[in-house]
Amino acid sequence: MKVKDLMTSQVATAAPNMPLNQVASQMRDYNVGSIPVCDQSGKVLGIVTDRDIVLRSVASGNMQVNAQDVMSRNMVYATPDMDVHEAAKLMAENQIRRLPVVQNGKITGILSIGDLATVNIYVNEAGDALSEISKPSTPFS
């Protein structure tokens, strides 16, 4: 099975200069835990997760920031034609729960650990990936 068969193709995005409270409002409105940050052409520059908001903004008391100020920049991507097993391996190796799907440099979807768990044949793989993702890692600086 390919990533395109499981990914969510309707993805809310944020511009780099979008105020953080608007990014958080999108998360609430769409009931998601991450918003990719894209330039005007749709190229993914980073991703803001709910954890990024807490650790890089709320914890420091600085809510007057934009998406680009708190986004994670070291992006790992999937492609629509990537095998789902390979995508799950990427998620586990990089300890990420959400994987932007990019084609020709532009966002076309997002694959989450929950998407993997919706298909019976991937439930064990989703669990294995979640176990790897959940292992403690070193804090960012």
Domain boundaries, the chain: 3-133
pTM of the model: 0.80
What does R_g of the chain's alpha carbons equal in angstroms?
A: 15
Q: Which CATH superfamily is domain 3-133 in?
A: CBS-domain (3.10.580.10)
Model pLDDT, residue 15 = 97
Tokens of 29: 């409105």
| pLDDT by position in tens, the chain (length 141) | 899 999 999 999 999 999 999 999 999 999 999 999 999 999 999 999 999 999 999 988 888 899 999 999 988 999 999 999 899 889 988 988 899 999 998 999 999 988 887 765 444 554 554 455 445 555 544
Model pLDDT, residue 108 = 95
Cα–Cα distance list, 9 to 57, 108, 111, 114 (Å): 29, 6, 9, 14
Model pLDDT, residue 92 = 87
Task: Give the phi and the psi of residue 117 in degrees, each rounded to 5.
Answer: -75, -10
